[in-house]
Structure 1
Amino acid sequence: MSLRLVRPEDRRYPALRSTYTTAGAPAAIALPESAAEVAAAIAHGRERGLDIAVRSGGHGLAGTSTNRGGLVIDLSALHDVAVADPAARLVRVGAGARWADVAAALHPHGLAISSGDHGNVGVGGIATGGGVGWLARWYGLTIDHVRAAEVVLADGRIVRADAEHDPELLWAVRGAGAGAGIVTAFEIEAARVRDVGVAQLLVAADQDGAALRRWASALREAPRELTSEVIMLHNGRSPVMRVTAVVAGGDPRRVREIVEPLRRIGKVLDHRVDRAPYPVLLPPSHKHPNVAQQPVTITNGLLPAMDGDAAEAVMALVRSGRALVQLRSLGGAIHDVDRGATAYPHRHQHTLVLASMFPPDGRAELDAAWRVLAGRVDGAYGNFEGRRDRPAFARVYPGPTGERVAAAWRRYDPGAVFRPYPI
């Protein structure tokens, strides 16, 4: 079987070697067009003793989708999106598709899959790691709706994982798939939604975190149609909350009713509410090349509650001016799933806090700034965690979940070909 490989002397190499955040220098990049070619790429890397990185084509914030001196298996050619069963809303999605492609393909059918907040994000990474998207409180995580997966194992076998065929592999794929094999396609149950309400607000952020607490409280009490994200910005000496709120369903009166409590969380500097087709949130214009244009170091934590101490800690991190701080609302449908049902066990937390640091600052500076929050968070979301050590594994996969994940990785990948964390 012929295997397309791009090497450093190839003119395509500069456009393929990196992720959005990380400059890579692999010995070669494989561009498979089928699961069989993925298996051939794995064999090629193993025979030559190369480290293997897997890229589904998107951002790759954690930086693990490229390497130096190894082999990158780029899944971007596996990008087909098709409605396999309209009545069951079952969609087959190639792991190399980006969410802009998925949103555009499903919209004519009145369907959507909640995942990510940017159209350039790749399907494979999120659909094996979690999937916190614009409809998360209403729809749940992406992994909660993965019904089957086509997986290429380290030994080259191509297998199907579903509730009847290897359910343990399906369990691992949904939250810890990066260490089990390479998923080439997913069968995902989509949601029936065409339009959404989108509110954007600029809110003055109190130094003690009062506005932040009110935002979190409003989300906990809100109907689950509402999902929100906050980006903390600096406006001179005063921090500002840029709040984006998405309501599943586009009825204008219902949207205004659900969004109204957010206008009372603090001094509103600007706001607007619109109705839009869901793909507007993930437009094709997002699909830019990924050439390490935004180097970043990231970490995150999950907060069970945004109490006074937690809010003050977040604001202390913001006031340090060292990190970009983002928050995403959880709860709702995410909490409907038993913590043992998937390899993502974080089913009681209400807020995800993400901190990003940009050059010249790096890991040491981020760790120092994060200490103010480190003792208050409970767990972490793997796709937003740049560390790949044992403590990070314990945060992402705590307790019994970690033991089961480690056992699954050893079973399906005994040679540690794909191992994202030491176990």
Structure 2
Amino acid sequence: MIGRRAFLRRSGGTLAVGAAGAALGMGWTRSASADCTGATITDGVLSRFRSRIQGSVILPVDTQYATARLGFNRRFDPYPVIIVRAAGTADVARTIEFARTNGITLAIRSGGHSYIGASGGSGVVLDLSAMNSIASLGNGHFQIGAGAQLQQVYGALRCQENMTIPCGSCDTVGFGGIAQGGGFGYLQQAHGITLDRVRSARVVLADGTVVDASPEADADLFWAIRGAGGGSLGVATDFTVEAVPYKTIHVIGWYWPLASAGEALDRFASLQESGAVPRSATVALVFNNGAASLAPAQCVCVLFSTGTLAEAEATKQLFVGPGGIRATPGLGFQYDADSPACDPHAVAQRDYYRAKSAIVYGQPAADTGDYLRYWLERRVADPMFSPSDSATVNFLTFGGAVSDVGPSDTAFPHRDALLEVQFLGYLQNPTTQSIRKNQAWIQGLYADVFPRLSVHGEGCYVNYCDDDLTEAQWTSRYWGANYPRLQVTKRRVDPADFFHGKQTIRL
């Protein structure tokens, strides 16, 4: 292996960062994306920086670089010039200073799950994964590092105090990202979204200042950090949260014929809109190509309840009993889950996918289910896609505790929503042709379905960020009427717009 100093000698004693390319050693270069500004890092500058970092500084010639540079989505193939795996807040502040003074862009990574590749890039990647401590503060309060994965969070809260927190179902997501954007999950009707449980956040600003934002200290930044999403205002390094008592989650799933997709979606939305679904239950309606490939084709409804088993069964009957839609005989499942995560022992497995979202404020148009059925059946029939190239449109109930908070009480504006929707198209073994086909499929699906979901107002989720949206669309759909206030906060804490990315708050 070529050592760091040999690498620097080979590249003329510098790391060149800019439009000409980012040096990767081994005698070759790779073109950098346009997010770098033409800086040059000398051997001495790099050595001084490295000596001030307690964590790891990873360069392209280091053996761990090949895996350290990667995020969760295989759609993106970033080659950062430097990766800093921070050990603490001081490392974060010094990395910000290094990037700022050397004119290099900074990407922040908690778990690396950004849907638009924002946690990578060709500049400096600030990796918070080692800042993953979880400590009990007593009385149900915990301090959680931004790099802690959800599987770690659920396990630690349960073991330390028999508590949990409303959060997501993807085990390897970093807490820092989900807590700043929102945090949808299977406990949200009962306990709200993740950011509703945040009581303070430590944030390192562009000038290196460390702020402990709370209702008592920099209340405006505290307001903004809960809903702005990561990467716009500063680097949130850890959070104080108030957990909730742990309860077993009863999971009950049933199937409906895909031919009844319109009726199923109408029943699902109507029950949620009427308030009939109890707070103890969050319900998902899932249209995917796996169920659609059954004979006859199906869609799936899944109930997650922290009530008693009898209460969960009674909630199911609202959907499939008298006045509901009869479940398909012979299909279905039921089990108890220890946490809202899919698998508390999961190992990160990188996927290739494209994603989109919608926030639904009222009953979808009557023909929405017909379009969902059309696009799923079209994917199943297309020989370009294998059965392992999964696709899903996942509806999740809003309301309950989510709506107890006002639309302007935090930067997350979608408090009056009825449902949230995630669109995903995966490829197991992507090729040039299948990548184009997958993109065309999800864009066509979305073009037909999003307007029908948005008859009562448009919205999208900042943590399901979508690089097909224009700036006017994503600023409006992510933050709505809260965006001007976010801009005011942005101008105060980051007046030079150092934290500037694909879809960050603009000055």
Same fold (TM over 0.5): yes
User: Which residue matches 2:155?
Assistant: 104
Q: CA deviation at 1:58?
A: 4.8
**Pair 422,118 (structure 1): closer, same or farther in 2 beyond 3 Å:** closer
Q: Which letter maps to 1:286?
A: A
Distance 1:50 1:243 in 2: 47
**Structure 1 length as normaliser, TM-score?**
0.91
Name the counterpart of 2:256: 203
Mapping of 1:263-412 within 5 angstroms? 263-264=320-321, 265-269=325-329, 270-278=331-339, 281-288=341-348, 293-307=350-364, 308-321=366-379, 324-358=392-426, 359-361=434-436, 366-376=442-452, 377=454, 378-387=458-467, 389-390=470-471, 391-398=473-480, 400-412=481-493
Distance in structure 2 (CA, Å) of the matches to 1:71 and 1:373: 38
Q: Is the 8 A contact 1:205 1:266 kept in 2?
A: no
Q: Whole-Å Cα distance in 2 between the matches of residues 144 and 404 of structure 1?
A: 19
Aligned AA (1:392)? W
Corresponding residue for residue 293 of structure 2: 235
Aligned residues: CA RMSD: 2.2
Describe the superposition over 1:18-66 as per-residue Cα deviations: whole angstroms up to 9, x where unpaired.
2111322111111011111111111122222222111112533342111
- Assess if the C-alpha contact under 8 Å between 2:486 and 2:505 holds in 1: no
Counterpart AA for 1:374: F
Deviation for aligned residue 1:320: 4.3
Q: 1:243 to 1:61 in 2, by over 3 A?
A: farther
Question: What's the offset of the Cα at 1:239?
Answer: 4.1
Provide the rounded CA distance (Å) in 2 between the counterparts of 1:207 and 1:360: 31
1:310 to 1:337, Cα distance in 2 relative to 1, 3 A: farther
Is the 2:490–2:505 contact (alpha carbons within 8 Å) kept by the matching residues of 1? no
Matching residue's letter, 1:411: R
C-alpha distance in 2, partners of 1:238/1:351? 27
The answer on whether the counterparts of 1:226 and 1:245 sit within 8 Å (CA) in structure 2 is yes
Matched, 1:421 2:495: no
Q: Percent identity?
A: 28
Q: In the TM superposition, what is the alpha-carbon distance from 1:84 to its structure 2 partner? A: 0.9
State the 1:185 CA deviation: 0.5
Q: 1:208-219 to 2 correspondence within 5 Å?
A: 209-219=262-272
Please give the alpha-carbon distance, in whole angstroms, between the structure 1 residues aligned to 2:268 and 2:326. Answer: 9
**Equivalent-residue separation in structure 2 for 1:253 and 1:207 (angstroms):** 27
Residue 422 of structure 1 deviates from its aligned partner by 5.9
SS of residue paired to 1:360: helix
Who is 1:254 aligned against? 311
Contact 2:261 2:299 in 1 (8 A): no
In structure 2, relative to structure 1, the CA distance for the partners of 1:53 and 1:261 (3 Å cut) is same
- Matched-pair contact (CA < 8 Å) for 1:204–1:266: no
Map 1:54-69 → 2, pairs under 5 A = 54-67=108-121, 69=122
Displacement of 1:389 in angstroms is 4.1
| TM-score normalised by the chain length of structure 2 | 0.77
State the alpha-carbon separation in 1 of the partners of residues 143 and 316 from structure 2.
33
Aligned with 1:84: secondary structure?
A: strand
Residues 99 and 282, structure 1, Cα contact 8 Å, conserved in 2: no
CA 1:316–1:340 in structure 2 vs 1: closer, same or farther (change >3 Å)?
farther
Counterpart of 1:272, as a letter, is: F
For 1:402, the aligned partner's letter is Y
Q: Aligned equivalents of 1:119 and 1:236: distance in 2?
A: 28
* More off after superposition, 159-168 vs 343-352: 343-352
Q: What per-residue deviation string (whole Å, max 9, x for no partner) do you get for residues 174-200 of structure 1?
A: 000421111000111111123111112
The answer on whether the counterparts of 2:487 and 2:505 sit within 8 Å (CA) in structure 1 is: no
Unaligned runs of 5+ in 2: 1-51, 381-390, 427-433
SS of alignment partner, residue 199 of structure 2: strand
Report the counterpart of residue 166 of structure 2 in structure 1.
Answer: 114
Match of residue 163, structure 1, among 212, 215, 230: 215
User: Computing the radius of gyration over CA atoms, which structure comes out larger, 1 or 2?
Assistant: 2
Pairing partner for 1:129 from 165, 171, 181: 181
Match of 1:9 among 61, 64, 78: 61
Looking at structure 2, the residues matched to 153 and 354 of structure 1 have their Cα atoms a distance apart, in angstroms, of: 32
Of 213, 219, 233 in structure 2, the residue corresponding to residue 180 of structure 1 is 233
Letter in 1 for 2:401: A
Checking the alignment, whether the CA contact within 8 Å between 1:137 and 1:227 is kept in structure 2 is: yes
**Which amino acid in structure 1 is aligned with residue 361 of structure 2?**
P
Q: Extract unaligned runs of 5+ from structure 1.
A: none
Say whether the 8 Å CA contact 2:229–2:462 is kept in structure 1: no
Instruction: Classify 1:370/1:177 alpha carbon distance in 2 versus 1 (closer, same or farther; 3 Å).
Output: closer
Which of 190-199 and 317-326 deviates more? 317-326
| In 1, Cα distance between equivalents of 2:168 and 2:189 | 13
1:47 and 2:105 aligned: no
Deviations 1:75-99 (A, max 9, x none): 011111122122xx21211110011
Per-residue CA deviations over 1:249-306 (Å, capped at 9, x if unaligned) read: 4x32222222333334343251222233226x343322325xxx32222111111123
Distance 2:218 2:143 in 1: 19
